[in-house]
Chains A and B, each alone.
Chain A
Amino acid sequence: MPAKIEVKNLSVFYGDFQALHEVGLRIKEHRITAFIGPSGCGKTTLLKTLDRMNDLVDGTRVEGQVLLDGEDIYQPGYKLIKLRKRVGMVFQRPNPFPLSIHDNITYGPRVHGVRDKGTLEGVVERSLQAVHLWDELKDDLKRSALTLTSEQQQRLCIARLAAVEPEVLLMDEPCSALDPISTLRVEELMLELKKNYTIVVVTHNMQQAARISDESGFFYLGRLIEFNRTKTIFTKPANKMTEDYITGRFG
């Protein structure tokens, strides 16, 4: 199967500090890929290089390649707006805009030039359906998104992303602000979404990685230590460090 995203020999620097060392991996289409590893090992950094959100951080430098469907997203002149439409991000803390639920969902399409009322209404319904918020909220679309619970907010953020019809969803610890029950429900949602999207998720929660991901990469101090099928990583890790980490002996 061809890789949706291929990371080749990627190094990332914050000023003089090297946060990632020659990372290489392939992310398959319609799979959930998990990045695991102790705090500060560079998971978020890698995730942000995949939609070039690290461009917003002053003084970052990237070496190597990130290929999206075979095309290097770091080549000069690459269109960031198109990239971010194809590769969307869900953040650790739910960050709905201080707008109504409706306007949160239509935000992406409006930004990309959709004006037609009918089309937008359709997008709102479909996106909220996709994250199972429609029945709860369909009569409440004018309400401020900030009044929702954390779980609803995170679902809304996923719906907001779904509205621009991306191909890849990047999720940085999407459940860390949620309680255990909400976490399970969002995980279920991710498993459903995998039919339509390629998902990359950063998580600190080993059980979560084991439950939902197809492939996992273990990172340590900016290096990719091991990358394999999740089953393999969790049952027969090739590296001693990986084993120690997933069995909870450090990290």
Chain B
Amino acid sequence: MEKLIEKGLLVIAYSSIAILFIITFFIFKEGLPFIFREGLGTILGGVEWRPTKGEFGILPMVVGSLLVTGGALVIGVPLGLSCAVFLVEFSKPKVRRILKPAIELLAGIPSVVYGFLGVILLVPLIRVHLGGPGLSLLAGSIILGIMILPTIISISIDVLEAVPQSYREGSIALGATTTQTVSMVVLKAARSGIVTAVILGMGRAIGETMAVIMVTGNAVAFPGSILDSIRTLTSNIGIELAYASGDHQEALFATGVVLFVMIMVLNLVASMTRKKRIR
């Protein structure tokens, strides 16, 4: 019986890993031939996306993805980090024990809900008070910034809690205030862990699709300002895959390959910084 369960678990483990590999393989199989045929330079460097005319430049979308992810970090990292610092360093453990799971619950809200709230509340606010179409880089950045908060807060809390208490005591005993202790010792000690939190948040932001489609307007163009509409790599696939065929479909898979590589690189950097922390 024991043996049977063991074997069963093994099969399940291997098959789920196999499925992941098959998916990866499939994306590359569909995308790579197209990349080789058109040339990586023409695709990555091309600024025109007109699938019907055989123009498949995705540079505006690469830029869009990077900008909206950068914007999300600009909003999410300071907010999330200060929230974690407040919970770990300035509030009672009891408060943290209640709030942390609550914050982690936010990660479970479907992204379409975030997108919906963005369209209903945020987009009109931007349109009325700041101008432009409202559906914009700014709206996308804010919504994504909020969506990565749970990741950033919860990892940062773990990281800050792992900073030895003896550092804090040593600092306080020298006459430092809590604020000085946090900024001069605790955050320094937690630096690489916080970098991990940021990178994982970044991975979440760059891969997000639904909410971004809903609030960024999806125009394939370089934005002139944060109030302009953008399209990300994920949106591009999400919007067009349903009706694409032939070259167009292959171009979308190529977009997927580019996205895949970007995310892999991020995760690699994240796991590298995490290993460094353990050492």
CA distance A27 to B188 in the complex (A): 38
A164 and B175: CB pair below 8 A? Answer: yes
Q: Is A157's beta carbon under 8 Å from chain B?
A: yes
CA distance A102 to B184 in the complex (A): 14
CA distance A112 to B51 in the complex (A): 64
Smallest CB–CB gap between A169 and chain B, Å? Answer: 11
A108 and B175: CB pair below 8 A? Answer: yes
A53 and B188: CB pair below 8 A? Answer: no
CA distance A97 to B185 in the complex (A): 7
Interface stretch, picked from A8-16, A61-69, A80-88, A236-244, is A80-88
Q: Is A107's beta carbon under 8 Å from chain B?
A: yes
Instruction: Given A107-B184, A110-B184, A111-B184, decide whether A95 and B167 contact each other with a Cβ distance below 8 A.
Output: yes
In-complex Cβ contact of B180 among A95, A111, A161 (8 A) = A111
Smallest CB–CB gap between A100 and chain B, Å? Answer: 11
In-complex Cβ contact of B176 among A96, A98, A111, A161 (8 A) = A111
A95 and B185: CB pair below 8 A? Answer: no
A98 and B189: CB pair below 8 A? Answer: yes
CA distance A98 to B174 in the complex (A): 16
Contact residues of B between 40 and 83, Cβ < 8 Å to A? none
CA distance A111 to B176 in the complex (A): 6
CA distance A91 to B176 in the complex (A): 16
CA distance A107 to B173 in the complex (A): 12
A95 and B188: CB pair below 8 A? Answer: no
Encode B183-195 as 1/0 by CB contact (under 8 A) with A.
Answer: 0110011000000
In-complex Cβ contact of A53 among B164, B173, B180, B184 (8 A) = B173
Encode B233-250 as 1/0 by CB contact (under 8 A) with A.
Answer: 000000000000000000
A56 and B169: CB pair below 8 A? Answer: yes
Q: Is B166's beta carbon under 8 Å from chain A?
A: yes
Q: Is A32's beta carbon under 8 Å from chain B?
A: no
Contact residues of A between 70 and 108, Cβ < 8 Å to B? 80-85, 88-89, 91, 93, 95-99, 107-108
Q: Is B171's beta carbon under 8 Å from chain A?
A: yes
A53 and B172: CB pair below 8 A? Answer: yes
A98 and B172: CB pair below 8 A? Answer: no
Output the nearest chain A residue to B93 by Cβ-Cβ distance: A58
Q: Is A215's beta carbon under 8 Å from chain B?
A: no
Q: Is B177's beta carbon under 8 Å from chain A?
A: yes
B167 and A112: CB pair below 8 A? Answer: no
A98 and B166: CB pair below 8 A? Answer: no
Smallest CB–CB gap between A177 and chain B, Å? Answer: 12
- Residues of B contacting A110 with CB < 8 Å? 184
In-complex Cβ contact of B188 among A80, A88, A93, A99 (8 A) = A99
Number of A interface residues at 8 Å Cβ cutoff, please give it. Answer: 27
A93 and B166: CB pair below 8 A? Answer: yes
Q: Is B131's beta carbon under 8 Å from chain A?
A: no
Q: Is B8's beta carbon under 8 Å from chain A?
A: no
Encode B142-172 as 1/0 by CB contact (under 8 A) with A.
Answer: 0000000000000000000000101101111
A84 and B172: CB pair below 8 A? Answer: yes
A85 and B175: CB pair below 8 A? Answer: yes
A81 and B175: CB pair below 8 A? Answer: yes
Smallest CB–CB gap between A186 and chain B, Å? Answer: 17
CA distance A82 to B188 in the complex (A): 25
- Residues of B contacting A98 with CB < 8 Å? 167, 185, 188-189
A51 and B173: CB pair below 8 A? Answer: yes
CA distance A160 to B184 in the complex (A): 15
CA distance A108 to B173 in the complex (A): 10
CA distance A56 to B89 in the complex (A): 12
A56 and B174: CB pair below 8 A? Answer: no
CA distance A93 to B167 in the complex (A): 11
B172 and A97: CB pair below 8 A? Answer: no
B174 and A164: CB pair below 8 A? Answer: yes
Smallest CB–CB gap between B59 and chain A, Å? Answer: 42
A108 and B174: CB pair below 8 A? Answer: yes
Smallest CB–CB gap between B49 and chain A, Å? Answer: 48
- Residues of B contacting A89 with CB < 8 Å? 173
A99 and B169: CB pair below 8 A? Answer: no
- Beyond contacts A111-B176, A157-B170: 7 other A-B pairs, Cβ-Cβ < 8 A, are A82-B175, A83-B175, A91-B166, A91-B170, A95-B164, A98-B188, A110-B184
Report, nearest first, the 10 A-B pairs whose CB atoms are least far apart: A95-B166, A84-B175, A85-B175, A89-B173, A111-B176, A108-B174, A95-B170, A98-B189, A81-B175, A97-B185
Query: Which residues of A approach B to under 8 Å, CB–CB?
Result: 51, 53, 56, 80-85, 88-89, 91, 93, 95-99, 107-108, 110-112, 157, 160-161, 164
Question: Could you give 9 example pairs across A and B, Cβ below 8 Å?
Answer: A53-B169, A84-B172, A84-B175, A95-B167, A95-B169, A97-B171, A107-B184, A108-B174, A164-B174
